[in-house]
Amino acid sequence: MNNPFILEVKELKKYFPIRKGVLRRITGYIKAVDNISFSIKQGEVVGMVGESGSGKSTAAHSLIRLLEPTEGEISFLGKDFLNLKKQDLRLHRQKLQMVFQDPLASLNPRKTILENLGEALLYHKLVQNKQEQIEAVAHILERIGLPKKALTSYPHQFSGGQQQRLSIGRAIALKPKLVICDEAVSALDLSVQAQILNLLFELKDTYKLSYLFISHDLAVVRNFCDTVLVMCKGKIVERGEAKRVFEHPNHPYTQQLLAGAPAIFPKRRSKSSKS
Ligand SMILES: Nc1ncnc2c1ncn2[C@@H]1O[C@H](COP(=O)(O)OP(=O)(O)O)[C@@H](O)[C@H]1O
Ligand SMILES: [Mg+2]
C-alpha cells in the first residue's frame, strides 16, 4: 500500500532557553512548539491558525530545519527527515519549499529574476545549462502571470503582489511536493490577496502540490483549506475539517478566536463591490 501521507509530524517540540544573569544560566524554556503531531496527505491543504506568538512560524521553521527541533519525528516522503544523509537532505530540501510573508526574504535584490529563480535550478540539477535555465524560468513566469521580459528585471521593479508571485515562482520552479506558506498573503491588499490565493490554487492543481497554509486570518484559511489545525501556546488545541471547525468549533480557544474576529467573516462580496 502506498503511504497517502507526504508529511508526518510526531510529538514535535521546539523549546527556546531563557537565560538570566551574568552567567547566562538557563532559568527556563519558552515552549514555542510543545508536542504537536499532524500529517499532510498528497494534494491536501492544511491550514494552521492561531494568534500571534502561538508557535506557527517556529513550527514551520522546524519543519524545514531552519531551526533544529528540540524533540520529535518528521517523516517527509516516507523518510526520517531529521536523520537524513547529506545527499538525501538536499533532495528533500528541494521537495519542501517555503513562501514567507515578506517576498524579499527569498529574493535577492541584487540579482535579476532569472538569477533569483534560476540559480537553484542549476544547483539542484533540474536544468543542465543556461539555455534550459532561461526556458524553465520563462515558463514559470508565464505560470505566475508575469511577462517574459521580467527575466532581466530586479525584484524592486515589481509591486508587492508581483514580488510575492515571484517568491511563489521561485518555490514552484523547484518542483516541490509540499509548500509551506507562512502568512504568505497577510501583507497584501485584499484584492491582491485573492489573486495570489487563486494562483496558489491553480499551481496546486497543475503541480499536484500540498500546502501547509499558515495564517492568522481565519477567513483566508476557511476558504482555502481542507483541514485546519488550531494552535494555542505551542499546542494544537483543535483540528478537523475546515468547514466543521469554523461552523462548530469545539475548543473554547477556537470559539474565542472566531468571536474575536467578526470582521473577517464578511458575507461573500458581490462581484460589483470593490475591495
Ligand atoms: N529565536 C527565538 N528565540 C526565543 N524565542 C522565540 C524565538 N522565536 C520565537 N520565539 C518565541 O516563540 C513563541 C512562538 O513564536 P512564533 O513561532 O513566531 O509564533 P507565531 O508565528 O504563531 O506568531 C513566541 O513566544 C516567541 O516569542
Ligand atoms: Mg509567525
Q: How far is the CA of 31 from the centre of ligand 1 (A)?
A: 9
Q: Alpha-carbon distance 171 to 99, whole Å?
A: 7
**What domains does the chain contain, in order, with CATH numbers?**
5-261 (3.40.50.300)
What is the radius of gyration, based on Cα positions, of the chain?
20
CA distances from 2 to 5, 75, 96 (A): 9, 15, 20
Q: Alpha-carbon distance 153 to 89, whole Å?
A: 32
**Ligand 1 shell residues, CB under 6 Å:** 16, 30, 32, 50, 52-58
Amino acid identity, residue 139? H
E strands present in the chain: 5-20, 25-41, 45-49, 71-76, 79-80, 96-99, 178-182, 210-214, 227-232, 235-241
Q: Which residues have CB less than 5 Å away from ligand 2 (the ion)?
A: 56-57
Residue 257 phi/psi, 5-degree rounding, is: -60, -40
pLDDT of residue 121: 95
Residue 178 phi/psi, 5-degree rounding, is: -130, 135
Residue 261: all three cell numbers together: 474576529
DSSP letter string over 14-82?
EEEEEEETTTTEEEEEEEEEEEEEEEEETT-EEEEE--TTSSHHHHHHHHTTSS--SEEEEEETTEEGG
Q: How far is the CA of 57 from the centre of ligand 2 (A)?
A: 4
CA distances from 99 to 11, 79, 223 (A): 24, 23, 19
Tell me the percentage of the chain whose pLDDT exceeds 70: 94
3 band by pLDDT with thresholds 50, 70 and 90: confident
Q: How far is the CA of 123 from the centre of ligand 2 (A)?
A: 29
Residue identified by cell 540539477 is: 125
pLDDT of residue 261: 63
Mean pLDDT along residues 132-145: 96
**Could you give the 3-state DSSP secondary structure of residue 227?**
strand
Residue 230 has pLDDT above 80, yes or no: yes
- Residue whose CA is at the smallest distance from ligand 1 atom 2: 16
Q: Alpha-carbon distance 209 to 215, whole Å?
A: 18
Other Cβ atoms less than 10 A from the Cβ of 16: the count is: 14
Residue 180 has pLDDT above 90, yes or no: yes
Q: How far is the CA of 165 from the centre of ligand 1 (A)?
A: 27
Give the closest ligand to the alpha carbon of residue 19.
Answer: 1
Q: Which residues contact 175 (CB under 8 A, 6 or more apart)?
A: 94, 95, 126, 207
pLDDT of residue 219: 83
pLDDT digits (tens, 9 = 90+) for 155-165: 999 999 999 99
Q: Alpha-carbon distance 206 to 239, whole Å?
A: 27
Q: Alpha-carbon distance 165 to 111, whole Å?
A: 16
